[in-house]
């Protein structure tokens, strides 16, 4: 083989560097598994970060307590990152998510602490307050996001400009209608959304509900695998070998149950546990009381959001159109896709996700403050990009963005444990962001 | 100057034309890209549309495919006046287009591209298996070499990408097909494949507008040839009634065959 000529028939077998010769058997096996190699690479990087920090911190990083907190801290960014993936995939950007979050969080705080109890005279602590607040917040988020999307799609103003304006406008509005006040306290059920504790009520599922949710998710994974296999069989398509199917199912289920196990290994704080024992007439054993906390509500919310947005992105026309627009906007329009409507809807979705994150963050703080969500847009965009979303459009996945958010938060959390100061944290996260995208570009160029 | 239209009587005049483009005009800013063009297309025939770069061929076809509605003029399908405001209107009328650029979403796989905008759904979710199955069937007819139905079309070869674009046009039972430079990026074997496909589609009664630079392709495949020059129609001629030189004269000099002098012909041959 003197001169290598790229063959027309099989361009995907074109790379013949020594590197690819080494990894070829591995990629062959991965192809049989039909798993996203980028996702797998990111998981590998995450494990390296985790075990690295665990060694450096003397075993603190991988303690149930730290992992539980890490999951809660990642949730609010991860929720928004799922929507940011679709925005960036369609060749747009949303710089306003932090300000939208602040504005929506403020509005929801006002609804539950002022409008419903005082203006409408229902008083505080009504059982319906949390859900009414949340639904109104999500609807307002869709409206606010949709308004920006309307200007982008139908007004033809670049999304960078529209959402840069939004970043200023929504933040400014907070000061306009709250005069810089902090709104607190929030309704107690609403507070549960943040994963905190109020008295003996805990913003988490608890032991057995957590296991139940985990098992249901496992069954769902297996069911989806079987259903997909059956469908492909019916059309006579090749299916992946049984060992590969079993491995993918076992690893996915193991991950789900692992998360539940970690969350259940984290006990309630001593004073909460004692109070709980007193209320329920449990005698406290001499070695102390171990009541598992279970999966935190913010994480539950994040999982639901992930499922819903993944479904929209991969199983619905809306998602297909978002990816088509990102891949080739002209082709999408010529195929008869309503490009403008799709873009507007993607921004509306982003707004409602910002509202959900706003609920989580205000609930966790038990207050709405004026700097709520400041710079969140940077974390959200970074999470999406570290998760493999490409700014050239058309490429990116929701699970990738979730992983990206966890990677970012793991770096921050690990550095906090190692007592690294905040400016240094920023420097490291910034470098990792650039390095991750650089590496990804390099690898993809090699593969192609 | 080229506004006069040569109406060539053809054997098919008793039938109602499949498509009638009547006095179509399109302007971009101050530029008149298409100036009052009238062309008919009958079922089961190929009309070759030729002309130099910027003659307005593609722009004229875009009015029929819904990509750019005309500023004035009328479009009739089966004798009925229709309004084609966007690509969806065109597809609803059975008008399919294979664009010169192919218009593929490179990041999506072949089934997603074939069904783009017309996805098969089952209980409101995309039925990818059904779409893949249908795509496998139609592609097998066009390019048996194409077997990667799960990879983005970006990774396919030029001929395979072309097959995906053609599959998209013919899968939905088109009655009218617009092919804009369908063989420009293809090798000899693939070009021959496209030629036999065109003949087959024609025999099925589909009317085809074939836009091409290649005068020999056009003579090979068309019944009639329409020549455009600077946005206007020079004329529509019966292929059997003209020589290649006469058509070249129409393309290069913008003169109908009857006005072509021997001096003009000498100039054409330099």
**Distance from B88 to chain A by nearest Cα, in Å?**
5
Closest-CA residue of chain B to A331: B103
Checking B254-262 for CB contacts under 8 A at 24+ apart, the result is B254/B1, B254/B2, B254/B229, B254/B230, B256/B4, B256/B6
pTM of the model: 0.89
**Residues from chain B contacting residue A235 (CB–CB below 8 Å):** 129-130, 132-133
The radius of gyration of chain A's CA atoms, rounded to the nearest angstrom, is 24
Write phi, then psi, for B213 (nearest 5 degrees): -85, -20
For residue B76, give every residue at least 6 positions away whose Cβ sits within 8 Å of its Cβ, in sequence order, or none: B17, B19, B20, B22, B82
Q: How many CA atoms lie within 13 A of A37 on its CB side?
A: 13
Least confident of A236-240, A441-445, B103-107, B148-152: A441-445
Cα-to-chain-centroid distance, residue A391: 18
> Would you tell me how many other CB atoms lie within 10 Å of the CB of residue A269?
12
A418 has a chain B CB within 8 A of its CB: no
- Indicate the Cα dihedral angle A17, A23, A28, A32, nearest 10°: -140
Strand partners, A20: none
Q: Do B116 and A232 touch (CB under 8 A)?
A: no
Q: What is the mean pLDDT of residues A7-23?
A: 49
Q: Do A12 and B112 touch (CB under 8 A)?
A: no
Q: Do A394 and B107 touch (CB under 8 A)?
A: yes
Cα-to-chain-centroid distance, residue B251: 18
Q: Could you tell me the maximum CA-CA distance found in chain A, to the nearest angstrom?
A: 85
Closest-CA residue of chain B to A89: B107
Task: Return the sign of the alpha-carbon dihedral for residues A436, A437, A443, A444.
Answer: positive
Q: What is the mean pLDDT of residues A58-76?
A: 93
Residue-wise pLDDT tens digits, A350-401 = 999 999 999 999 999 999 999 999 999 999 999 999 998 998 899 999 999 9
> What distance in Å separates the CA atoms of residue A34 and residue A317, rounded to the nearest whole number?
23
pLDDT in the model for residue A446: 62
CA-based nearest residue to A324, from B111, B159, B121: B111
pLDDT in the model for residue A3: 40
Q: Do B112 and A324 touch (CB under 8 A)?
A: yes
> What distance in Å separates the CA atoms of residue B87 and residue B64, rounded to the nearest whole number?
9
Q: What is the mean pLDDT of residues B74-101?
A: 94
Best residue in B84, B92, B100, B117 for a mutation probing chain A (most A CBs within 10 Å) = B117
Q: Do A324 and B145 touch (CB under 8 A)?
A: no
CA-based nearest residue to A134, from A377, A384, A363: A363
Does position A7 have pLDDT exceeding 60, yes or no?
Answer: no
Residue-wise pLDDT tens digits, A146-167 = 999 999 999 999 999 999 999 9
**Distance from B125 to chain A by nearest Cα, in Å?**
5
**Residues from chain B contacting residue A232 (CB–CB below 8 Å):** 129
CA-based nearest residue to A103, from A133, A68, A73, A141: A141
Does position A33 have pLDDT exceeding 80, yes or no?
Answer: no
> Would you tell me how many other CB atoms lie within 10 Å of the CB of residue A419?
7
> What distance in Å separates the CA atoms of residue B160 and residue B205, rounded to the nearest whole number?
26
Would you tell me which residues 135-164 of chain B have a C-beta closer than 8 angstroms to some C-beta of chain A? 145, 148, 151, 155-159
pLDDT in the model for residue A448: 47
> What distance in Å separates the CA atoms of residue A395 and residue A389, rounded to the nearest whole number?
6
> What distance in Å separates the CA atoms of residue A317 and residue B50, rounded to the nearest whole number?
38
A231 has a chain B CB within 8 A of its CB: yes
What is residue B54's three-state secondary structure? coil
Work out the pLDDT band at B255, boundaries 50, 70, 90.
confident
Closest-CA residue of chain A to B90: A336
Does position A171 have pLDDT exceeding 90, yes or no?
Answer: yes
- Which one has a higher pLDDT value, A112 or A442? A112
**Distance from B155 to chain A by nearest Cα, in Å?**
6
**Residues from chain A contacting residue B84 (CB–CB below 8 Å):** none
CA-based nearest residue to B119, from B172, B163, B74, B55: B172
Q: Are B83 and B41 in contact (CB under 8 A)?
A: no
Q: Is A375 left (phi over 0), alpha (psi -120 to 50) or beta?
A: left
- The per-residue pLDDT of chain B, averaged, comes to 89
**Distance from B264 to chain A by nearest Cα, in Å?**
41
Q: Do B116 and A317 touch (CB under 8 A)?
A: no
**Residues from chain A contacting residue B158 (CB–CB below 8 Å):** 8
Would you tell me which residues 191-220 of chain B have a C-beta closer than 8 angstroms to some C-beta of chain A? none
Q: Is A407 left (phi over 0), alpha (psi -120 to 50) or beta?
A: alpha
pLDDT in the model for residue A24: 67
pLDDT in the model for residue A6: 38
**Residues from chain A contacting residue B108 (CB–CB below 8 Å):** 320, 323-324, 327
Burial B174-183 (b: 16+ CB within 10 A, else e): bbbbbbbbbb
State in Å, rounded, how far the first CA of chain A is from the last one. 20
**Distance from B7 to chain A by nearest Cα, in Å?**
32
Preceding omega of A185 cis (within 30 degrees of 0): yes
Burial of A420 (0-12, 13-18, 19+ CB in 10 A): middle
CA-based nearest residue to B257, from B269, B267, B248: B248
What is residue A440's three-state secondary structure? helix
Burial B8-42 (b: 16+ CB within 10 A, else e): eeeeeeeeebbbbbbebbbeeeeebbbbbbbbbbb
User: Of all helices (H) and strands (E), which one includes residue B228?
Assistant: strand B224-229
Least confident of A70-79, A271-280, B101-110: A271-280
A445 has a chain B CB within 8 A of its CB: no
Write phi, then psi, for A246 (nearest 5 degrees): -65, -40
Residue-wise pLDDT tens digits, A254-276 = 989 999 999 999 998 888 888 88
Residue-wise pLDDT tens digits, A299-340 = 999 999 999 999 999 999 999 999 999 999 999 999 999 999
Work out the pLDDT band at A423, boundaries 50, 70, 90.
very high
Best residue in A15, A334, A342, A394 for a mutation probing chain B (most B CBs within 10 Å) = A334
Task: Calculate ∠ Cα B211-B216-B217, nearest 5°.
Answer: 45
**Distance from A311 to chain B by nearest Cα, in Å?**
9
Does position B252 have pLDDT exceeding 90, yes or no?
Answer: no
Work out the pLDDT band at A289, boundaries 50, 70, 90.
confident
Best residue in A6, A8, A393, A395 for a mutation probing chain B (most B CBs within 10 Å) = A8
**Interface confidence (ipTM) of the complex:** 0.89
Q: Do B157 and A320 touch (CB under 8 A)?
A: no
pLDDT in the model for residue A15: 44
- The per-residue pLDDT of chain A, averaged, comes to 89
The radius of gyration of chain B's CA atoms, rounded to the nearest angstrom, is 19
pLDDT in the model for residue A273: 86
Write phi, then psi, for B109 (nearest 5 degrees): -80, 175
pLDDT over 70 for what percent of chain A?
A: 92
Does position A2 have pLDDT exceeding 60, yes or no?
Answer: no
B5 has a chain A CB within 8 A of its CB: no
Closest-CA residue of chain B to A335: B117
Task: Return the sign of the alpha-carbon dihedral for residues A190, A194, A198, A202.
Answer: positive
pLDDT in the model for residue B3: 44
pLDDT in the model for residue B216: 87
Q: What is the mean pLDDT of residues A50-56?
A: 95
């Amino acid at each position: 083989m003197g001169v290598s000529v790229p063959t027309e028939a099989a361009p995907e077998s074109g790379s013949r560097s020594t590197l690819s010769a080494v990894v070829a058997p591995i990629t062959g096996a991965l192809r049989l598994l039909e798993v996203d190699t980028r996702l797998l690479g990111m998981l590998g990087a995450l494990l390296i970060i985790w075990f690295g920090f665990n060694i450096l911190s003397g075993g603190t990083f991988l303690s149930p307590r730290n992992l539980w907190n890490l999951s809660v801290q990642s949730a609010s960014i991860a929720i928004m990152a799922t929507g940011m993936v679709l925005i960036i995939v369609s060749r747009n950007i949303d710089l306003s998510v932090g300000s939208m979050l602040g504005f929506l969080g403020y509005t929801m705080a006002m609804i539950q602490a002022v409008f419903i109890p005082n203006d409408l005279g229902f008083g505080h602590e009504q059982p319906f307050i949390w859900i009414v607040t949340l639904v109104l917040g999500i609807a307002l988020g869709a409206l606010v996001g949709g308004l920006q999307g309307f200007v982008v799609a139908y007004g033809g103003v670049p999304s960078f400009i529209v959402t840069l304006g939004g970043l200023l406008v929504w933040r400014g509005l907070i000061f306009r209608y709250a005069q810089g006040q902090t709104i607190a306290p929030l309704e107690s059920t609403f507070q549960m959304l943040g994963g905190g504790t109020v008295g003996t009520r805990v913003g988490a599922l608890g032991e057995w509900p957590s296991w139940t949710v985990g098992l249901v998710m496992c069954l769902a994974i297996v069911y989806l695998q079987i259903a997909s296999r059956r469908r492909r069989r019916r059309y006579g398509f090749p299916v992946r070998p049984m060992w590969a199917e079993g491995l993918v199912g076992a690893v996915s289920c193991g991950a789900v149950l692992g998360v539940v196990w970690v969350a259940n290994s984290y006990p309630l704080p001593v004073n909460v546990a004692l109070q709980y024992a007193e209320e329920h007439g449990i005698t406290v054993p001499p070695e102390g009381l171990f009541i598992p906390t279970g999966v935190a509500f913010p994480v539950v919310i994040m999982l639901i959001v992930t499922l819903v947005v993944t479904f929209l992105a991969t199983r619905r026309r809306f998602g297909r159109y978002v990816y088509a627009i990102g891949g080739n906007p002209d082709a999408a329009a010529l195929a008869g896709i309503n490009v403008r409507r799709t873009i507007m809807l993607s921004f509306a979705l982003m707004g409602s996700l910002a509202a959900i994150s706003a609920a989580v963050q205000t609930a966790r703080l038990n207050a709405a403050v004026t700097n709520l969500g400041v710079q969140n847009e940077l974390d959200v965009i970074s999470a999406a990009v570290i998760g493999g979303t490409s700014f050239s459009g058309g490429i990116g996945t929701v699970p990738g963005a979730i992983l990206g958010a966890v990677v970012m938060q793991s770096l921050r959390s690990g550095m906090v444990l190692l007592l690294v100061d905040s400016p240094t944290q920023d420097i490291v996260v910034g470098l990792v962001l650039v390095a991750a995208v650089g590496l990804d570009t390099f690898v993809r160029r090699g593969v192609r | 100057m080229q506004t006069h239209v040569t109406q060539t009587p053809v054997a098919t005049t008793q039938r109602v034309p499949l498509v009638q483009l009547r006095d179509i005009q399109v302007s971009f800013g101050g530029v008149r890209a298409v100036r009052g063009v009238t062309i008919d297309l009958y079922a089961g025939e190929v009309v070759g549309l030729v002309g130099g770069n910027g003659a307005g061929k593609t722009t004229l076809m875009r009015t029929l495919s819904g990509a750019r509605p005309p500023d004035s003029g009328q479009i009739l399908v089966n004798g009925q006046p229709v309004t084609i405001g966007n690509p969806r209107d065109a597809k609803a009328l059975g008008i399919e287009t294979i664009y010169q650029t192919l218009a593929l979403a490179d990041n999506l796989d072949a089934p997603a591209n074939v069904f783009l905008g017309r996805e098969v759904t089952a209980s409101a979710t995309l039925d990818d298996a059904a779409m893949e199955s249908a795509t496998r069937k139609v592609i097998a007819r066009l390019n048996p070499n194409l077997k990667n139905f799960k990879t983005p079309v970006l990774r396919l070869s030029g001929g395979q990408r072309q097959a995906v674009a053609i599959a998209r046009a013919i899968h939905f039972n088109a009655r009218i097909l617009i092919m804009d430079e369908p063989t420009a990026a293809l090798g000899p074997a693939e070009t021959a494949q496209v030629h036999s496909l065109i003949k087959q589609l024609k025999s099925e009664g589909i009317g085809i507008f074939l836009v091409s630079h290649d005068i020999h392709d056009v003579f090979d495949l068309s019944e009639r040839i329409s020549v455009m020059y600077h946005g206007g129609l020079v004329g529509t001629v019966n292929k059997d009634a003209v020589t290649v030189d006469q058509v070249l004269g129409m393309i290069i000099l913008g003169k109908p065959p009857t006005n072509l002098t021997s001096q003009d012909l000498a100039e054409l041959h330099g």
